[in-house]
Structure 1
């Protein structure tokens, strides 16, 4: 770990590693917790994290959290990513925490933080069939009525909605202005009348969902922040979202790397370990260097956010997400290649590393979108 960590942060990371090793350190344990890899989230394991106080690690003490910063949140995601811990619900949950903390009323903030710290799962819904990278093009409508709004429309690719207590919905409340105007955030219970949740089958797991709203009523006090101001509210949370995704994939990349190194040390061909052949040993050296760069970038940006939480760092946060996810994908692809046919076998974890890392370059803003954002900050 880089020298930028405090003793307390190092101890926190070590405690996470110890828990993961004890609770999900073997393939048999992970299969039992995840229905043989089909589920990314285990409620019992998640409850253990809540009891330890880790789920609220970056949330204010006055609202029921532990009072840490974004670095501690990144450490939790990185080390549980490395440990293959079944806590997929926390990534979206910690993303949702941001709007509540920044824009929620006292009651909304207190309720959300208490829920998150005690083990509640939250989801955020932005994407639609015709609005993915172009979030401003969304058309799911929330029409004002007496006492609140009525929502109609479809959302898609909503991670963790099927296990969530609440969904932070971004819907259109005004279509008369520019496309990024007229968007509003709403807190919607996952069991609300008029909301139907349907899981989408993907490679190896079921984490994402379609949401169908049919005359779904949400009261006026379900608005998070201001009506028609969801876009600037979303922009205010991008530092966190991109760092969380980067951290989780940094951990997964480290695990894929270590699994690869272990394999090439043990596998023998032509009378020697395959890792001793220069064609593989130099690839390992390159991957190790890329991982070190990704780690330093992720945690230097996290430190910058902790030093100035209100400052937007679009270039740096996008760089961290881009570097960590692309590095993770590269490590998994190289690991599969070096393992040969065994890399494809479900007996080993490499095939699941590949599935997890490839999609990470798509969700939360594709690598292409991250590059566009970075280029824009240079006036291009």
Structure 2
């Protein structure tokens, strides 16, 4: 049992009630997401902004609630479990953390205050030849006429098509393969010279290619320090991995809830299929894995809240690995136990399978997380 305050318990209850009321049925969710083809509902997002919940971890001076990572994880787990279509929030809160740590006062005011009010942010880091190997990025920012000119391509940029702003990581010096020489930039989504092109995926419209052609940015678009983008990225790993883990924890719990309800009702051979030992034991294993994941998520969140400036490569890689792999297992086992109905679009399970499979890829693959964990043990 998590040791939550009364205020936190009331917050979780209120968020859960909101999800049931606003997105509790398949019909509601389809209406909010163009039949499931979109991962984000602007209508629902505005309501959450009006309630003040999008600013759960935004400092009070920028219009937020000033909460910590535990509070953020509670919100993410609960909305994911409630299938609230707010895909734009994850990248927004990740980007907000970068601006809180390194942004200028004006940048923090615009981005942090904007996120609390419903502004959506995206991050552009991956490239066609630079995925897990971030150091290979080649998109270049050339200092010119008192500003910077951006040329190059970014790919797999989540929510860029929804975004008001994009946090760009580009090379300002050095050559691909070097960690030194990267810089973060604040880019308006409608900046001249930037073209955003959607990538069709199993999950619908979620990710995008970004093409920069002589995109001119002013000098004050730099976020933090020129050539220090790699160190700044590393400082944000705690938040990024925990956010993704909390979302997948809620998704795993939803998949479990759905299949549990199904196997209690579905009858074969004269009795509910959940009464057969093979399914009963499988559900016991999944419940145990979910609870282990929950404890790891919130233990790691507590460590971050205790000392936000400390980077926790082992713990955050473990939590991202455990949460995404557990969610994938729960959804795939859920589909198996539901049989053909688990594969049918009539039910949510097939959608949960799609979202959990890709979770082991984005934000650092499971293989990369294992590499990081191994290195922390001197291997």
Structure 2 length as normaliser, TM-score?
A: 0.99
Cα deviation code 1:43-90 (max 9, x no counterpart)? 111011111111111111112211111111111111000000010000
Gaps of 5+ in 2: none
Query: SS at the partner of 2:161?
Result: helix
Instruction: Name the structure 2 match of 1:376.
Output: 375
Instruction: Name the structure 2 match of 1:280.
Output: 279
In the alignment, is the contact (CA less than 8 A) between 2:100 and 2:108 conserved in 1?
yes
Secondary structure of 2:372's partner? Answer: helix
Match in the other structure for 2:33: 34
2 CA distance for matches of 1:308 and 1:204? 36
Aligned residues: 379
**CA–CA separation in structure 1 for the residues paired with 2:177 and 2:136:** 10
CA-atom RMSD in angstroms:
0.9
- 1:240-270, CA deviations, whole angstroms, 9 ceiling, x for partnerless residues? 0000000001000000001011111110111
> Residue 187 of structure 1 aligns with which residue?
186
- Residues 20, 339 of structure 1: alpha-carbon distance in 2 compared, 3 angstrom cutoff: same
SS at match of 1:310: coil
Structure 1: unaligned runs, 5 residues or longer: none
Q: Deviations over 1:208-245 (max 9, x none)?
A: 00000000001110000000000000000000000000
Residue 208 of structure 2 is matched in structure 1 by 209
Matched with 2:122 is: 123
Q: 2:77 matched to 1:85?
A: no
Counterpart in the other structure of 1:98:
97
Residue 75 of structure 1 pairs with residue 78 of structure 2: no
Q: Pairwise mapping of residues 1-80 of structure 1 onto structure 2 (< 5 A)? A: 2-80=1-79
Counterpart contact for 1:181–1:231, Cα < 8 Å: yes
After the TM superposition, which segments of 4 or more aligned residues of structure 1 sit over 3 Å from their partners?
none
Residue aligning to 2:164: 165
Relative to structure 1, the CA distance from residue 228 to residue 266 in structure 2 (aligned partners, 3 Å threshold; closer, same or farther) is same
Per-residue CA distance 1:91-126 (angstroms, 9 max, x = gap): 000000111101111111111111101000000010
Distance 2:116 2:345 in 1: 34
Please identify, of 106-115 and 261-270, the stretch whose mean Cα deviation from structure 2 is larger.
106-115
How many Å separate the matches in 1 of 2:68 and 2:2? Answer: 17
Residue 351 of structure 1: aligned partner: 350
User: Equivalent residues in 2 for 1:147-162 (5 A)?
Assistant: 147-162=146-161
Following superposition, the deviation at residue 175 of structure 1 comes to 1.7
1:287-298 alignment to 2 at 5 Å? 287-298=286-297
| Contact 2:197–2:209 (8 Å) recurs in 1 | yes
Alignment-derived partner of residue 230 in structure 2? 231
Native 8 Å contact 1:45 1:87 kept in 2:
yes
Residue 4 of structure 1: how far off its partner (Å): 2.0
For the residues of structure 2 that align with 1:118 and 1:20, how far apart are their CA atoms? 19
SS at match of 2:280: helix
> How far did 1:280 drift?
0.6
CA distance in structure 1 between the aligned counterparts of 2:325 and 2:6, rounded to whole angstroms = 30
Q: TM-score, normalised by structure 1?
A: 0.99
Change (3 A) 1:280 1:223: same
1:336 aligns to what? 335
> For 2:146 and 2:85, how far apart are their aligned partners in 1?
40
Contact 1:64 1:110 in 2 (8 A): no
